Structure 1
Amino acid sequence: MNLQLRAATANDLTALVELENRCFEYDRLSRRNFQWMISRAHASLVVAEADRNLLGYVLVLFHQGTSLARLYSIALDERARGIGLGQKLLDRAEAEALEHDCAYMRLEVRPDNRGAIILYQRNGYRPFATVRDYYEDHSEALRFEKRIRQISGQAPRHVPFYHQTTEFTCGPSCLLMAMGALEPERVLERREELRLWREATTIYMTAGHGGCSPQGLALAAWRRGFRVQLQLSEDGPLFLDGVRSEEKRAVMRLVHEDFAHELAQSDVEQLLVNQLDIGSALEAGGQPLVLISSYRLTRSKAPHWVVVTDCDEDFVYLHDPDVDHSKHRQPLDCQHIPVSHGEFEQMSRFGRSKLRAAVVLYKR
């Protein structure tokens, strides 16, 4: 058998849909899905072909701006059983991920798919989560992960995950996660998410509802009994460049002055810095929230808050509260995301002034 592995093209669409229908009863990719993966998605779709017959495929999705890849689907035709095609496709998937500078591969598999589980475990994949009601028939999925780039690693600290329930509450959602990491008994709920937003919002942002400033988030955490350190690369009102209306800018200045006055009455430690010192904060038991530019993740130029869950000599690990960047993302795709130090250095600067901002919480 003259087997060839190659990138899928639009000419493969009919054969891909037919293979999908033969291999799966539920959660099938449609012709439109395959078309998207081939032409527009941040993904790699590789097919296995022999004698002009399509015998299998593997689909890998890449997480923009990070070192994380997801093996989304792998399919084998019955005619290809027993020739080691599953291993070949898995090897190709990992090679594609490495070419995209990924260090981790994650995947989901049905608990009753023993053949696939054996293949993954034989190749060094380890289960790390179970996802309830994952598939179309309401069955659960096992989540596996492998560090495909063999460099130093460590188990991340436990930081609970909470996904934002509105498009404008990334900051409060990150603050909930940080507080939950330091106080495991704390309940993370939407009522508190919105309450925190009301306390910390700057009222106006580039568009829509107001976002939360570092000062507002620091004060909200301080009011709840945490020791707080505020790291900023510049003083004064923030985010004014993104608002054209002078009336709105005047309101934002007034809100900032109010935050500044309250900060002066608190014991929040305020540091004016050129570089964020996240590593030292983690070593001292702190839980940092960091402002980033979402452009590195979504290609939209907006301020966005993430939680740093850990860091090592290779990566900074993030919880991203926004699960809705792509319809193919799941909450587990947004947890402990590995980001290279170089990429993190770029994404943690926002706007023309290259603003750097972090709010670090500590237990008193």
Structure 2
Amino acid sequence: MMLNTTWMISSPSKTLGNAKYFLGLELARSNQGTYVTQRKYLLDIVHDCHLDDAKATATPLPAGIKFDASSGPCLTSPERYRRLVGRLLYLGFSHPDISFAVQQLSQFIQCPRQPHWDAALYLVRYLKGSSTLGLFFAANSSLPLTAYSDSDWASCLDTRRSVTGYCIFLGASLISWKTKKQATVSRSSAEAEYRSMGSTVCELLWIGYILADFGISLDSPIPFYCDNKAAIHITENPVFHERTKHLDIDCHLIRNQFKRASFSLNTFPVSTNLPTCSLSLCLHLLLLVLSPSWACSLMRQLEGGVTITDDTQLHASNRVQPRRLALHLSRFRFITFSVKTFSVHRVAISFYHLY
């Protein structure tokens, strides 16, 4: 308030109140926090693609889909593909769930082909059905940082490079995420995961510096989760050997931070694959509406002792906000689906949103 008064004295201006719309971002404030969406911007994309009456898809991309640079005919008008991907990149500011899909589509900007265009329209149809989803920033005083790192291995059919993915939470709010193809080819999944850990550590250090500028100190080690035990062993083992000697810089960076107790390394048995691969419907929704730690806890509770039924209906409201989902074990209806990291278990879950 003092800043506003000083500014109004030095320059003719007037106060318009809290911002509700800024650069395509729609802001909804309440006592619980701030909800950020890009609904109008999203619906403009849907309209420009002539998909207003199209049926919405349930996932950003079909499960397990792979792209390459040579399949299918080249587009006669690649400019419209480039424009659409650029708009989707901007939309990703409030839709971390499309991060992997947009990263995949961005690889073919130079020479897009028909399968890439079809996948882009598939993604737009998904956005049409999730236009009200966004980011919720809780207004609480708890500000612990938590980081989750993941990577696939050699997923690119053209270069065999891996994809790095991470997400970082400040309290209950997702504040940073990234999906990016790694710069070099990894010889093993552990190496790919370790490179992803290096990227996540750099992002955490930067966020820590920003919080320090705001006078927020992080006294306890930051919980850091990775689902690859081999990558964790590389971090904890001070010996360089043949398999890691070419990772010298990443090894020193990560080990130095863990020796300083900046982070506490933890295994995470349920893979947070949302930023690194295209998932099945149920697993996509599970990771979309739950925090990673809650999803892990839920999977552990469901492991074993689950009765499978033939019901194939899934109830999920578009009004569901991230981390605002109520799960009532006594009200579960079961839907059969296969979880990638627990392929021997077939689980069925019903989602109920908070009123």
| TM-score over 0.5 (shorter chain) | no
Query: Structure 2-normalised TM-score?
Result: 0.26
| Greater share of strand | 1
- TM-score in terms of structure 1 length: 0.26
